[in-house]
Amino acid sequence: MSLNIPTLHNIEAVKTETEEVKTFTFQSPEIVKESKPGQFVMIWSPGIDEIPISIANASLEGEVEVAVADVGDCSHSLHQKHEGDQVGLRGPYGRGFTLIGERICMVAGGYGAAPLRFATKRAKELDKHVVVLEGARSSAELLYIDEFKRMGCDIRIATEDGSEGYKGTITELLEEMLASGERFERVLTCGPELMMERVCGITSRAKIPTQVSVERIVKCGCGACGSCDLGGHRICKDGPVFDAEALVGTEFGRWKRENSGKRIAITPDAGELLSIPPLHFTPEYEPVLATEVCGINFPNPIANAAGFGFSGKLLHRYAVAGAGAVVTKSVGLYEREGYPNPTFIEIAPRSYVNAMGLPNPGIKDYGLEIGDAKYADVPLMLSIFGKSVEECRVVAKIAIKYPIDMLEFNASCPHSDFVAVENHPKLLRSIIKEIREIVHPKPIAVKISPNVGDPAGLAMTLEKAGADAITAINTVMVRPIDHTLDMSILGNPTGYGGKSGKDLTVGGKKIVFDLYEELKIPIIAVGGIFSAEDVIDYAKNGASLFQVGSALVTEEPGFFSVLKKELKEYIAIKGYKNISELVGEAHRR
Ligand SMILES: Cc1cc2nc3c(=O)[nH]c(=O)nc-3n(C[C@H](O)[C@H](O)[C@H](O)COP(=O)(O)OP(=O)(O)OC[C@H]3O[C@@H](n4cnc5c(N)ncnc54)[C@H](O)[C@@H]3O)c2cc1C
Ligand SMILES: Cc1cc2nc3c(=O)[nH]c(=O)nc-3n(C[C@H](O)[C@H](O)[C@H](O)COP(=O)(O)O)c2cc1C
Ligand code: FES
């Protein structure tokens, strides 16, 4: 895939399909080349937002078609556009459908017909028999029926008002078809979540393997932020297409998340918005990697970085995959939606800029995630933020009631309108003193960035104020511009974002070296860790714990285990007894 950043494309054609849905056509051989049915693209309406939309068709001539329903700000702005207008496109993203079996049934509701149109096209190219079931309230809402006909599919229609085909719902029709003896080797479904949940119930009873294309709030689109979580799966990277069995035991069909990550019921009778708890997990004790920092025993010193993973279930998954600790999203006193998209872009290979805007449900509602994460027996660091002593006091008082092991105070978010309190050292000192008093004896790390001129000087002040550790570094402030439109690419009002990834590796290591010269308290390294060599360099420069962030865009959670294995090999080859022996070695030469 080329760089993960919106690229301007002309709209080649716009076709009104129904009262709510229009099809947009773009010329993009790059996207076509990589597209699989079920994948999606991100469409940027400059100045408004960027939204995920499934690929409805990808042609040999390099054309990409998408069907957009007019439901809110961004989709509405797209509906106002005409042939020749420009929008940004990037992708394709996610995992698509698997076209196994000779007789496949597509069950579509609403614009769910779009990805199934593309899946049908590929299935027909593979000579499969495709039966399409499409449901709508009335015939006027049916989408792509002519396209399905042109592809030679066996089409069955259900409308709730009986204006076309079977009178009733598509799931009633499916049930009747199966009861009358029709058989399929596979069912693929896309549409409203409750419809898909019913489809899964029916096909599970009939023992038909089924795949489901799900929707959640997508922000980064590539696995970084965790906003699109469904039961610990990031639908933008691990989905959006899932085997139905993978969704059993998740909130699928019961609740989803708002932009802030807060849980919200899908049905009025959803009950309490709880997760089915993950399995209890205890990590293996590995003497060469086990580390004690701030009085806490870490099974190994590698964690995720704050903001890479939102849900407790994803953090639990990181622990099972080998992380020796987990760090939450930064959470404040109040619920925050975060900024409009684009919130995450790639400006050079594996160098990213984000302006998420600290989406979080507020500390009171975050306890549900901590509860899920604590099914893994690894230390949990709760990342918090706040703009005043009073606000931070309340956050800390709530935080300390949760089963956390350590706090990390995010003093350095460069793109938020207010939370780079590192720029106000006097205020930050007061905040840290206050929080420390509340949470003691639980330790508190303070996270700083290079955006302050003298990180080592600031860290010394924070050590005096009672910080138990310093986490370095947060992202570096930049402002990416789209030169054609002459405007900032990021969706936040200022256009400022924080750079992460490869561009931080070298500078981050230097800052940790400088901090170690001045501090007595431990240092937690973060910034451009992509390999065991990076961990080793950071350790020798003075860090005791290590957080992995941007690497998780391209790596799977199993990356934690890869790092551990390579560290153990290095430690064995070089004859160290334990990773702690590496800490600060560069200063002892
Ligand atoms: C993988 C994926 C594929 C999708 N494919 C299509 C498609 O082919 N055609 C299409 O029209 N839409 C598709 N969607 C849904 C589409 O992304 C949302 O409708 C869109 O983001 C709404 O943005 P908006 O600014 O127009 O509306 P907003 O003003 O943001 O929201 C309007 C309503 O839609 C809800 N919403 C917002 N974002 C999402 C989301 N990501 N998923 C579900 N509900 C959301 C909001 O909660 C609100 O109720 C897809 C979503 C995902 C995750
Ligand atoms: C998408 C994204 C979200 C982030 N969210 C937070 C956050 O909530 N709190 C925080 O302290 N840092 C946050 N960060 C910063 C990271 O924790 C980390 O400091 C930074 O990305 C550098 O590490 P990396 O190069 O390994 O990504 C975020 C970074 C990204 C890219
Ligand atoms: S939107 Fe899926 S991880 Fe960010």
Q: What is the ipTM of this complex?
A: 0.96
Residue 532, token pair as written in the block = 């065991």
For ligand 1, say whether the CB of 41 is within 6 Å of any of its atoms.
no
The protein residue whose alpha carbon is closest to atom 36 in ligand 1 is: 217
d(CA 180, CA 157): 17
Q: Ligand 2 pocket: which residues have CB below 6 Å?
A: 220, 224-225, 305-307, 329-330, 344, 352, 354, 356, 358, 383, 410, 447, 474-475, 500-501, 504, 526-529, 548-550
Among 74, 153, 200, 413, the active-site one is 413
Greatest alpha-carbon pair distance for the chain in Å reads: 82
Question: Which tokens in the block code for residue 356?
Answer: 């998420």
- Work out the pLDDT band at 65, boundaries 50, 70, 90: very high
Pocket test for ligand 2, best of 315, 354, 473, 563 (most atoms within 8 A of CB): 354
pLDDT over threshold 90, residue 110: yes
Q: What is the pLDDT of residue 331?
A: 98
Q: How far apart are CA 356 and CA 491, in angstroms?
A: 9
Nearest Cα neighbor of 218 from 206, 210, 233, 228 is: 228
**Residue position matching structure tokens 């995630």:** 369
Choice between 270 and 403, residue whose per-residue pLDDT is larger:
403
pLDDT of residue 191: 98
> Residue 589: its pLDDT value, please?
76
Tokens read off for 536: 């080793």
Judge whether 27 and 10 are in contact, CB under 8 Å. yes
Is 90 in contact with 6 (CB distance < 8 Å)?
yes
Taking each helix axis from N to C end, the angle separating 170-179 and 193-205, rounded to the nearest 10 degrees, works out to 10
> Which residues on neighbouring strands pair with residue 50, listed in sequence order?
44
Point out the ligand nearest to the CA of residue 242. 1
CA of 487 to the centre of ligand 1 (A): 25
Provide the pLDDT confidence category of residue 371 given band limits of 50, 70 and 90: very high
d(CA 324, CA 302): 5
Distance of CA 87 to the CA centre of its chain: 23
Q: Is the peptide bond before 278 cis (omega within 30 degrees of 0)?
A: no
- Give burial (CB, 10 Å; 0-12/13-18/19+) of 236: buried
- Cβ–Cβ < 8 Å for 497, 479: yes
Q: Which residue has the tokens 């105070």?
A: 409
Ligand nearest to the CA of 93: 1
Q: Which residue bears the tokens 């199966």?
A: 178
Q: How large is the average pLDDT for residues 33-56? A: 97
Residue 361 · residue 333 · CB < 8 Å: no
The residues, any chain, with a CB within 8 Å of residue 358's CB and separated by 6 or more, are 330, 332, 336, 338, 385, 413, 416, 419
Distance CA(77)–CA(47), nearest Å, equals: 10
CA of 221 to the centre of ligand 3 (A): 5
Token pair, residue 70, equals: 């007019």
Burial code of 194-210, b = ≥16 C-beta within 10 A, e = fewer?
A: ebbbbbbebbeebebbb
Write down the pLDDT at residue 419. Answer: 65
pLDDT digits (tens, 9 = 90+) for 341-353: 999 999 999 999 9
Q: What is the pLDDT of residues 516-529, one digit of tens each?
A: 999 999 999 999 99
Residue 546 Cα to chain centre, angstroms: 21
Q: Which residues lie across from 360 on neighbouring strands?
A: 336
What pLDDT is stored for residue 563 in this prediction?
98
Q: Residue 369: helix, strand or coil by DSSP?
A: helix
Residue 447 parent element (H or E): strand 444-448
Residue type, 69: A
- For the stretch 138-159, pLDDT in tens is 999 999 999 999 999 999 999 9
* CB distance 296 to 326 below 8 Å: no
DSSP H or E run through 103:
strand 103-109
Task: With CA atoms as reference, report the closest residue to 406 among 429, 379, 385.
Answer: 379
Q: Report the candidate in 238, 186, 191 with the shortest Cα–Cα distance to residue 213.
A: 191
pLDDT at 1 > cutoff 60: no
- pLDDT above 90 for 275: no
Percent of the chain with pLDDT over 70: 99
pLDDT in tens, 387-415: 999 999 999 999 999 999 999 999 987 77
**Matching residue, tokens 């099972």:** 320
Cβ 53 vs Cβ 68: under 8 Å = yes
Residue closest to 145 by CA, chosen among 16, 154, 99, 60: 154
DSSP-assigned beta bridge partners for residue 226: none
The atom number, within ligand 1, closest to the CA of 49 reads 25
Write the CB contacts of 553 (distance below 8 Å, at least 6 apart in sequence). 4, 220, 222, 223, 224, 350, 352, 501
Closest residue by Cα to atom 6, ligand 2, is 307
Kindly report the average pLDDT of the chain as a whole number.
Answer: 96
Which residues, 6+ apart, have CB-to-CB distance to 416 below 8 Å?
357, 358, 385
Cis peptide before 414 (omega within 30 of 0): no
pLDDT of residue 418: 63
Q: Identify residue 509 by its one-letter amino acid code.
A: K
Domains recognised in the chain with CATH numbers: 7-93 (2.40.30.10), 103-265 (3.40.50.80), 291-587 (3.20.20.70)
- Measure the CA–CA gap between 218 and 221, rounded to whole angstroms: 6
Among 200, 203, 136, CA closest to 168? 136
Instruction: Give the number of the atom of ligand 3 that is nearest the alpha carbon of residue 224.
Output: 3
pLDDT confidence tier of residue 277, bands split at 50, 70 and 90: confident
Q: Identify the nearest ligand to the CA of 352 by its number.
A: 2
Is 413 annotated as catalytic? Answer: yes
376 three-state secondary structure: strand
Compute the distance between CA of residue 462 and CA of residue 429 in angstroms, rounded to an integer. 6
* Contact (CB, 8 A) for 195 and 171: yes
Q: Is a pLDDT exceeding 80 seen at residue 416?
A: no
Q: For residue 540, count CB atoms less than 10 angstroms from its CB and return exposed for 0-12, middle for 13-18, buried for 19 or more.
A: buried
Do residues 452 and 423 lie in contact, with contact meaning Cβ atoms separated by under 8 Å? yes
How is residue 325 annotated by DSSP? B
Confidence of residue 417 (pLDDT cuts 50, 70, 90): low
Neighbour count for residue 220 (Cβ, 10 Å): 27
Task: Name the closest-CA residue to atom 15, ligand 2.
Answer: 474
Residue 426 CB coordination number (10 Å): 9
